[in-house]
Structure 1
Amino acid sequence: MTEFVEGPALAALSCGKPAYLVVLIPGGDVDAQAMLDLALGWAPAMPKADFVTLQACEAEASWEGLDLFLDEMLARRRLPDSHLALVGFSDGATLALRVGLGRRSAIAALVAFSATAYDAEFETHAQPPLLLVHGEADRISPYQSMLAFKAALKEKGAPVWSFRRPGLGHAIDDDGVAAAGDFLARHVVHPAPAQHDHAHS
C-alpha cells in the first residue's frame, strides 16, 4: 500500500494544464483542508499552479516514500522538479524539509511552518530557496532550534530565509501566510522567456 494519498486539492485557476505543482503537507492540529484553505489566498498570484494536499496512510510514513510519491505526482503532470514547491506545517514541515533538501535536483521553493525537528544533518543534495516561518513563543519546537538550523544551512551556502513571528506559538498566523504566498509567487512562477527582437539585432 502506498504511504501517501492525495487529499483535497485546488486545480489551477487558468483551467489549462498546470505549469506548477504546490504540495501542502499537514501536521500537528492543522489538517489537509486547513492547509488547502491557505492556498486560496495564494492561487490568484499563481494561476497555473495545482495545489494538492497530502495525507499519510501510515503513522510513520517515511520521507523516502514521500520522495517517490512526489515523483509520481510530477510524472502525471509532466512537470520537472524545478516546477514543484513544498509547504508543510509542524511534523509535515519536518517531512517537507527532509524531502525538499534531499531530492536529487532542486525544487522551485520550500516553505516550512513551525517544523517539529530541525536537523542540520538532513541530507542536502539540493538547495532550493527555503523560507522558515516560526513563532518565537513555540513551546513544541523552540525558535532557537530554527535559528541554529538556518545558520547551519547558510554555512553550506543554501538560499535560506526566516520569518519570525513574535508572540506566536506552534501555529500559523496571517502574516506568516502572506509571507509564504509572496515567497512562493516569487520563486515558483518562472517568468516567460524574453522575446528577442531580431529586427534590431
Structure 2
Amino acid sequence: MPLLDGPRLAPAYGGPAQRLVVLLHGYGADGHDLIELGRDFARALPTAAFVAPNAPERCDMTGLGYQWFPLSFRDPSEYWRGVNQAAPLLDAFLDDELARHGLTEADAALIGFSQGTMMALHVGPRRRRAFAGLVGFSGLLAGPRELAGEARSKPPVLLLHGQEDDVVPVALLEPAVATLTAAGLPVEWHRLPGLGHGIDEAGLAFAVEFLAGRLGSRAAA
C-alpha cells in the first residue's frame, strides 16, 4: 500500500498541534494547490496543524498532478468504485497523522475540493469516531444509497458549491444534503452566486467560520 504524503503547515502559535486540518485536493492537482488555504484558516485556528496529502496516483488524463481515482466516464458507478479503492489509503494516512500529533478525530477536520470532497464525504462518516467537521467545496456524494447503512459516525458537514459550476453541476448539491441529513449528519450548505468550479472568498469565509466554531475552543498556551 503506497504511503500518502504532502506539504504541511505548523501551528501558527508556535507550539505543538492541538488541532489538525487535512485538505484533500481535486483531480489533477496536488497538495500544494490547497495547503496555502491553511494560512487563511490559521488566523481562526492558531493551534491547528495543516496537511494536504498528494493523492495516491498520478493523473491518468494529463500526466500532471494526482488523482484519488481515475475519471473515465464520470458516472455514479465510477465514483463509487473510486472512493472505495482510495479509502484505505486515506484512512491509513489519517490514522498516522492523528497519531503523530497525539490527537483524535474530535480534534480534526477534513476539507475537500471536487474529487477531494468525494473522499471526505465517503471516509469521514465511515470512521468510528466523528471528526469535528467535514467541509466540501464543489463536490458530490458518491454512493448515496450506501451511506445510511455504512455511516459509523455523524460529523457536522458544510457544503459549498458555485452556482455556475460547469464541472460538478450545482444540481448535485441538494441531493447530497438530503442524503447526508437522512443519515443523521447535520448539514449546512450554501450556493455561491457567480462562482464556477472553484473556491472564492465568500466560500472560504463560510468554511473558516464553520471550523472556528468546531475546532477553535482550545486556547493557545
- TM bracket (short chain): 0.7 to 0.9
Which consecutive residues of structure 2, in runs of 5 or more, have no partner in the other structure?
58-66, 70-84
**What is the Cα deviation at residue 156 of structure 1?**
2.5
Q: Distance in 2 between matches of 1:99 and 1:130?
A: 13
Q: Distance in 2 between matches of 1:164 and 1:31?
A: 25
Decide whether aligned partners of structure 1 residues 62 and 29 sit closer, same or farther in structure 2, where only a CA change above 3 A counts.
Answer: closer
The residue that corresponds to 1:54 in the other structure is: 53
Aligned to 1:132, the other structure's residue is in SS state strand
**What is the Cα deviation at residue 119 of structure 1?**
3.5
The residue that corresponds to 2:40 in the other structure is: 41
Q: Which moved more, 1:61-70 or 1:125-134?
A: 61-70
Q: Distance in 2 between matches of 1:156 and 1:22?
A: 24
Tell me if 1:102 matches 2:101.
no
Q: Distance in 1 between matches of 2:110 and 2:21?
A: 6
Which structure is larger by alpha-carbon Rg, 1 or 2? 1
TM-score, L = length of structure 2:
0.80
Aligned residues of 1:3 and 1:66 also touching (Cα < 8 A): no
The residue that corresponds to 2:60 in the other structure is: none
- Out of 187, 201, 204, the residue aligned to residue 160 of structure 1 is 187
What do the CA deviations read for 1:109-156 (whole angstroms, capped 9, x no partner)? 110001154442333211111000111121221212111110122123
Aligned residues of 1:63 and 1:95 also touching (Cα < 8 A): yes
The residue that corresponds to 1:75 in the other structure is: 99
The residue that corresponds to 2:198 in the other structure is: 171
- Out of 92, 96, 104, the residue aligned to residue 116 of structure 2 is 92
Aligned to 2:188, the other structure's residue is in SS state strand
Letter in 2 for 1:113: F
Decide whether aligned partners of structure 1 residues 188 and 119 sit closer, same or farther in structure 2, where only a CA change above 3 A counts.
Answer: farther
Identity over the aligned pairs, expressed in percent? 41
Q: How many residues are matched?
A: 191
Aligned residues of 1:22 and 1:49 also touching (Cα < 8 A): yes
Larger strand proportion of the pair: 1
Decide whether aligned partners of structure 1 residues 137 and 82 sit closer, same or farther in structure 2, where only a CA change above 3 A counts.
Answer: same
**What is the Cα deviation at residue 78 of structure 1?**
0.7
TM-score, L = length of structure 1:
0.88
**What is the Cα deviation at residue 167 of structure 1?**
2.4
The CA RMSD measured in Å over matched residues stands at 1.7
What do the CA deviations read for 1:51-106 (whole angstroms, capped 9, x no partner)? 11111232436112101210111011110110010001010111111111111110
Aligned residues of 1:109 and 1:187 also touching (Cα < 8 A): yes
Aligned residues of 2:160 and 2:189 also touching (Cα < 8 A): yes
